Amino acid sequence: MGMWLEGKPVADRVREAVKEEAARLKETHGAAPGLTAVLVGDNKSSQSYVRTKENACRALGLNGRSIHLPAETSMDELRKVIEGLNADETVDAILVQLPLPGHLRTNEVIGWIRPDKDVDGIHPASLGLLVQNQPGLRPCTPLGVLELIKAAGVAIEGRDVVIIGRSLIVGKPMAALVTNASGTVTICHSKTKDLAGAAARADILIAAMGQAAFVGRDFVKPGALVIDVGTSAVSDPEKIRTLFGDDPARARDLAEKGYTLVGDVDPRVIDKAAWLTPVPKGVGPLTIAMLMKNTLEAFKLRRNLA
C-alpha cells in the first residue's frame, strides 16, 4: 500500500518562503511584488480562481489586483489593456485568466504579454528560455509537480519519467523541466501505441490529459511515484462508488454539488504505487503557491536580483 502525497503541506512551505522574501524585498527595495490578473467575461470558475489568487497575494504581502472586462471586449481593446500593464512599472506579473471568450485568440493574446511579466510562463519566449535552460518564468503547474517530487524524496536524475499529455500548459513544459533535471523523459498521448506499457516503465508517472480515472493499475510500475494533474467532474454515482467505495466525502460532494472531482488516475492504484497525489488536494494547492513564487521571481528578474 502506497502513501498519499498531499499538496497543502508542500504548498504551505512554498508560501511561507514567499511571504518571508516578499517582506525582505519590500524592506530593501521599498516595493512589494505586484500581480495583475485580467479577467474577460463572466465565467464563474474563472472569477473564483481570480479571487483566490488575489486573496493569496494579500496573505503573502504581495500586491494583487484584477481587471474585469466585459465578455464582448475586442482584441484591440484587450491589447490596449495588456500594453498598459506592460508599461506600468508597478506591475511585475501579468496573468490573463483562461479560458477567454471564443472570439478572442488565446495564443495571440498571450504573445502580447512582456515575457519578463509572463507569470504563467507560457509566452513563446518564456517557453524558449525553458528549453534553453536559461533563467525565466516557468509554467506554474509543472513547477508545482517538481516541488511534489522533491517532497517525496525522489531524485529525478537518471529516472525514467513518463508524462501522459502534451499540452503547452503542462505536458510539454513538464518534459523540458524534467530533461533539465537530467531525467529520461517519454511523452505519451492519444496516438501512443501501447500507452499502458509505456507508462508502466516509469519510475515517475505524471498524468495530465483530462480523462477521469483513465490511468489504471496496468499503467503503474510497482513502487512508482504517480502525480495526478487531471481534474474532471464526475456525476455518475455508480462510477464514484466503484472508484471510492462508500467514501462519505464523495457522497457529500454528490449530494451537495451533483458531482465530485476525479483525477486522471484511478485512486485504487495506491495499492501498487509508492506515492500518489490525491484529487483534489494534490497538485492544485501547488499551482497557486508557484504563481505566488513566480510573481516574486518576476520582481527579481526585472531588477536583476535573481
Q: Could you confirm whether 53 is annotated as catalytic?
A: yes
Residue 12 dihedral angles phi and psi, to the nearest 5°: -60, -40
Position of cell 455518475? Answer: 236
Active-site option among 120, 228, 264, 266: 120
**How far is the C-alpha of 285 from the C-alpha of 141, rounded, in Å?**
10
- Distance (Å) of CA 240 to CA 93, 232, 243: 40, 12, 5
Backbone torsion region of residue 104, taken as left when φ is above 0, otherwise alpha when ψ lies between -120 and 50, otherwise beta: beta
Active-site option among 97, 172, 253, 264: 97
Q: Which of 243, 179, 186 is nearest to 213 (CA)?
A: 243
**How far is the C-alpha of 193 from the C-alpha of 215, rounded, in Å?**
15
The x, y and z cell numbers of residue 244, run together, are 471510492
Q: Could you confirm whether 120 is annotated as catalytic?
A: yes
Q: How far is CA 96 from the centre of its chain?
A: 14
Position of cell 505536458? Answer: 171
| H-run or E-run covering 256 | helix 248-257
SS3 for 43? Answer: coil
**How far is the C-alpha of 84 from the C-alpha of 117, rounded, in Å?**
12
Q: Which residues contact 20 (CB under 8 A, 6 or more apart)?
A: none
**How far is the C-alpha of 257 from the C-alpha of 197, rounded, in Å?**
36
Q: Which of 154, 177, 43, 172 is nearest to 99 (CA)?
A: 43
- CA quadruple 40, 44, 50, 53: dihedral, nearest 10: -170
Q: Which residues are catalytic?
A: 53, 97, 120
